[in-house]
């Protein structure tokens, strides 16, 4: 990994060079050929595929080969409760929801409620349990198919998880974990064991159904070190290697490098934010690619590539390519001002949050828990 940026499951820093990351991680760029194959089954491509937000994968072609032979896959993704859910978290989940609908498949959604407890020195188990309850409500409200979506909570489903996790753990040495995650002699032993828990949902359905079922993991690219290990080990236990598809990170509000962090209130918009808070945060904090004065902006134009309001539309809130292209063009030319762009983004976010917050009040999490 170069000095200028860092991508690990615990730390994302600096300006990420995704081309470099593809090489370093050994993942494959999503080719037009693979996208074409996906499109054959889904009719259209999700905006995050068209826009290169999901940009890389492992074994997606194998997954489609199996699917075309009638061997359906299941989806696996997850969330380690450590705080409230923010907009950046939605990127892989919106996409996962689309995959579930298009391929009509089961989704196993893991809530490793020990992960952040083990890795964050100042978190407590009780606090994490509160976030778990809160986070499950948000995920359930996103509209995954109730009968086909199964929440797996590590400590609550320990009877299912632990017997499989020890089989994985037996194949992992401390030096492998050190190399993959930068853990060391002073790391607590729970954190050293943890990756074996994150491996389990990739094959748990195969164990429960007593047949080999392909798995597809949509995830932020920072999680790849876990699944690289998982992929090495699963064949040794008689399971398929899981396929995966990786997204790039939505920038944090302030446009600083890295990824959105939930520990800093100025860094993110939370799903619980009120319309006023959203307006205030976008107006006050959202990094702008606009110019210092209106005159300059009209003359020289803005830069949507670094403009967080534009990126929010691109990643999540403007599905229409033509509309997005028009906003991009008008911003670049100086026709659209920063204040006007921010207004569009604020309205889109608030429309989404209004609907989401109403659904969250009504949703029944119990229906989703495995
Ligand atoms: N480690 C992830 C986090 O920090 C949670 C997670 C568990 C996950 N299983 C996953 C993420 C599978 C993506 C895919 O939030």
205 lines ligand 1 (CB under 6 A): no
Please tell me the least confidently modeled range out of 47-61, 100-114, 194-208, 261-275: 261-275
3-state secondary structure at position 122: coil
Cβ within 8 Å of residue 242, ≥6 positions away: 59, 76, 202, 203, 214, 215, 216, 217, 227, 230, 231, 234
219 lines ligand 1 (CB under 6 A): yes
pLDDT, the chain, mean: 95
338 lines ligand 1 (CB under 6 A): no
| Alpha carbon of 219 to ligand 1 centroid (Å) | 7
Mean pLDDT of 11-39: 95
Mean pLDDT of 302-318: 97
| Alpha carbon of 199 to ligand 1 centroid (Å) | 10
Helix (H) or strand (E) holding 55: strand 54-58
For 140-190, what is each residue's pLDDT tens digit? 999 999 999 999 999 999 999 999 999 999 999 999 999 999 899 999 999
Q: Residue 109's pLDDT is what?
A: 98
């Amino acid at each position: 990994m170069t000095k200028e940026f860092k991508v690990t499951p615990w730390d994302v820093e600096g300006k990420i060079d995704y081309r470099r990351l593809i090489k370093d991680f050994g993942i494959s760029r999503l080719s037009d050929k693979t996208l074409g194959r996906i499109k054959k089954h889904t009719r259209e491509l999700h905006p995050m595929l068209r826009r290169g937000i999901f940009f890389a994968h492992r074994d997606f072609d194998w997954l489609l080969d199996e699917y075309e032979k009638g061997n359906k896959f299941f989806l696996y993704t997850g969330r380690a409760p450590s705080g409230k859910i923010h907009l950046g978290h939605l990127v892989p989940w919106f996409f996962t929801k689309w995959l579930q609908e298009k391929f009509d498949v089961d989704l196993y959604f893991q809530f490793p409620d020990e992960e952040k407890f083990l890795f964050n020195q100042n978190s407590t188990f009780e606090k994490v349990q509160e976030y778990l309850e809160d986070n499950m409500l948000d995920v359930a409200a996103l509209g995954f198919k109730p009968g086909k979506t199964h929440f797996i909570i590590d400590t609550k489903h320990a009877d299912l998880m632990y017997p499989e996790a020890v089989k994985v753990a037996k194949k992992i040495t401390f030096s492998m974990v050190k190399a993959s995650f930068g853990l060391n002699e002073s790391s607590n032993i729970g954190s050293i064991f943890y990756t074996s828990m994150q491996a389990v949902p990739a094959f748990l359905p195969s164990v429960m159904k007593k047949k080999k079922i392909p798995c597809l993991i949509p995830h932020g690219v920072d999680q790849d070190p876990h699944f690289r290990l998982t992929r090495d080990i699963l064949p040794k236990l008689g399971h398929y290697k899981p396929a995966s598809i990786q997204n790039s990170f939505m920038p944090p509000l302030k446009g600083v490098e890295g990824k959105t962090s939930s520990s800093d209130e100025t860094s993110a918009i939370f799903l619980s934010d009120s319309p006023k808070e959203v307006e205030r945060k976008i107006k006050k904090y959202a990094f702008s690619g606009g110019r210092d004065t209106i005159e300059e902006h009209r003359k020289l134009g803005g830069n949507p590539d670094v403009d967080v309001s534009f990126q929010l539309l691109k990643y999540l809130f403007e599905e229409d390519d033509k509309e997005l292209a028009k906003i991009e063009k008008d911003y670049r030319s100086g026709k659209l001002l920063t204040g006007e762009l921010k207004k569009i983004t604020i309205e889109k976010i608030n429309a989404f949050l209004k609907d989401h917050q109403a659904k969250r009040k009504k949703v029944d999490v119990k229906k989703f828990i495995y």
